[in-house]
Amino acid sequence: MRIGSLKFNSNLFLSPLAGYTNLPFRLVVREIGGVGLCTTDLVNARSLLEKREKAFKLIETCPADSPLAVQLFGSVPEEMRDAAQILENLGAASIDINMGCPVKKVVKIGGGSAMMTELDKTAALVRKMVDAVKIPVTAKMRLGWDDENLTAPDLARALENAGAAAIFVHGRTREQGFGGTVNLAGIRKVVEAVKNIPVIGNGDVITPQAAKKMFDETGCAGVSIGRGAFYNPWIFQHTLQFLACGELLPEPAFSERVRVMNRHLDLMIEVFGEELGCRMFRKVAPWYAKRFGPCHEFNKRVVQISTREEFLGVLENYFRWRQQFVDEHGELLPRFRPPPMVASFMRETEPASTRREQIPVPKGPMEIW
């Protein structure tokens, strides 16, 4: 898999999730393995130019966090160009431009999904960035503003002509938010619209089977995974295995989930300090817990932690409480096991008994994405 001059061992990517895809989470995913390129949360180009501490914290990285794409948002071509140059000098592998974000704060300034409505202007902005740096410039978009304006194929073609090295496309419109089904036929149209650059499909991939279906039905060159990685940081490794030989690795055991969750907290503390790291972890830990089986006792307490010691106390208490739901080998009794995960676009092919209505959207600084 290639994006411009970059070569990857895996065609699976970590999608940007503002408030979540920080350095600790990226390292967790990379340590488990199977991911090709990770992307930062979106970063305001102007904030980088103004050297704001918050923007630089968002792009904090280390040698193990490589290759790394930084996602920029903004609509002023000169600012985007200058921010791209700063990032190139700092060693970013590539720069991704946010064209999908539906949040008012971003759209109001002509960034995010507003860019999908102005093809020529957006292509000119991309051209300016591409001409200013040697590293690849990519774009991440939705299918369009709404069902009447599915502009992604035209936009992708225009951006390829402007020098974009790849297109990431979330198979929903801006109007859809996170509701309804990911439109694989819509992603396919984007794949068919470009000539030579890879298109990476995105949306609701929460199982290896869903990734395969997205590859098969859209012809995309790669798949990018966001919330699925939050539920399950093993998804990249398991999907690579499934794509290579059709083998579905078993879900990680409870002990392995707890090991990785502990590692995640250690990294949060290393990067953000103990108090802030623990406070931020309050919204992360419940995602791990979604696959623990009964977990309200854990969730209730973990949202109060401020130190590692408090976290360990919460865990110890939870281990005791969880005993009532397991058999003599420590396995969850069948009636307490969480149902299998099923992507929105897999529903017709799954038995009704295993269907989920929607993957939850994590709360964050952005209310809707």
Ligand X SMILES: Cc1cc2nc3c(=O)[nH]c(=O)nc-3n(C[C@H](O)[C@H](O)[C@H](O)COP(=O)(O)O)c2cc1C
Nearest to 29 by CA among 293, 227, 300: 227
Question: 3-state SS of the chain: helix, strand, coil percent to 5?
Answer: 45, 15, 40
Answer yes or no whether residue 4 interacts with ligand X by CB under 6 A: no
Answer yes or no whether residue 17 interacts with ligand X by CB under 6 A: yes
Find the binder of ligand X among 6, 27, 29, 42 (CB under 6 A). Answer: 42
Peptide bond into 24 cis (omega under 30): no
Contact string 153-172 vs ligand X (x = CB under 6 A)? -----------------x--
Beta carbons of 206 and 232 less than 8 angstroms apart: yes
Beta carbons of 62 and 301 less than 8 angstroms apart: no
Stretch that binds ligand X, among 200-208, 210-218, 244-252, 320-328 (CB under 6 A): 200-208
Closest approach, Cβ 59 to ligand X, in A, equals 13
101 is catalytic: yes
**Checking phi first, is residue 193 left (phi over 0); if not, alpha (psi -120 to 50) or beta?**
alpha
Helix (H/G/I), strand (E/B), else coil: 100: coil
Q: How far apart are CA 128 and CA 80, in angstroms?
A: 8
Closest approach, Cβ 205 to ligand X, in A, equals 5
DSSP labels for 287-345?
Answer: HHHTTSSS-HHHHHHHTT--SHHHHHHHHHHHHHHHGGGB-TTSPBPGGGSPPPP--GG
- Catalytic-role residue among 38, 62, 101, 245: 101
Closest approach, Cβ 2 to ligand X, in A, equals 21
Query: Cα angle vertex 246, ends 204, 358, to 5°?
Result: 15
Q: How far apart are CA 77 and CA 75, in angstroms?
A: 6
Kindly state the number of chain residues that form the binding site for ligand X, as judged by CB under 6 A: 26
Answer yes or no whether residue 15 interacts with ligand X by CB under 6 A: yes
Stretch that binds ligand X, among 214-222, 300-308, 326-334, 358-366 (CB under 6 A): 358-366
Stretch that binds ligand X, among 1-9, 15-23, 286-294, 318-326 (CB under 6 A): 15-23
Closest approach, Cβ 100 to ligand X, in A, equals 5
Closest chain position to ligand X (CB)? 226
Answer yes or no whether residue 113 interacts with ligand X by CB under 6 A: no
Residues of span 308-337 touching ligand X by CB under 6 A: none
Answer yes or no whether residue 22 interacts with ligand X by CB under 6 A: no
Stretch that binds ligand X, among 5-13, 46-54, 129-137, 199-207 (CB under 6 A): 199-207
Beta carbons of 157 and 187 less than 8 angstroms apart: no
Answer yes or no whether residue 203 interacts with ligand X by CB under 6 A: yes
The smaller minimum CB distance to ligand X, of residues 12 and 314, is found at 12
Find the binder of ligand X among 177, 179, 330, 364 (CB under 6 A). Answer: 364
Q: How far apart are CA 298 and CA 314, in angstroms?
A: 7
Residues of span 211-240 touching ligand X by CB under 6 A: 225-228
256 beta partners: none
Stretch that binds ligand X, among 62-70, 196-204, 278-286, 323-331 (CB under 6 A): 196-204
Find the binder of ligand X among 10, 12, 13, 16 (CB under 6 A). Answer: 16
Burial class (CB within 10 angstroms; exposed 0-12, middle 13-18, buried 19+) of 192 = middle
Answer yes or no whether residue 74 interacts with ligand X by CB under 6 A: no
Q: How far apart are CA 162 and CA 128, in angstroms?
A: 9
The smaller minimum CB distance to ligand X, of residues 100 and 153, is found at 100
- Interface residues with ligand X (CB under 6 A)? 15-19, 41-42, 71, 98, 100-101, 140, 170, 202-205, 225-228, 361-362, 364, 366, 369
**Active site residue ranges:** 101
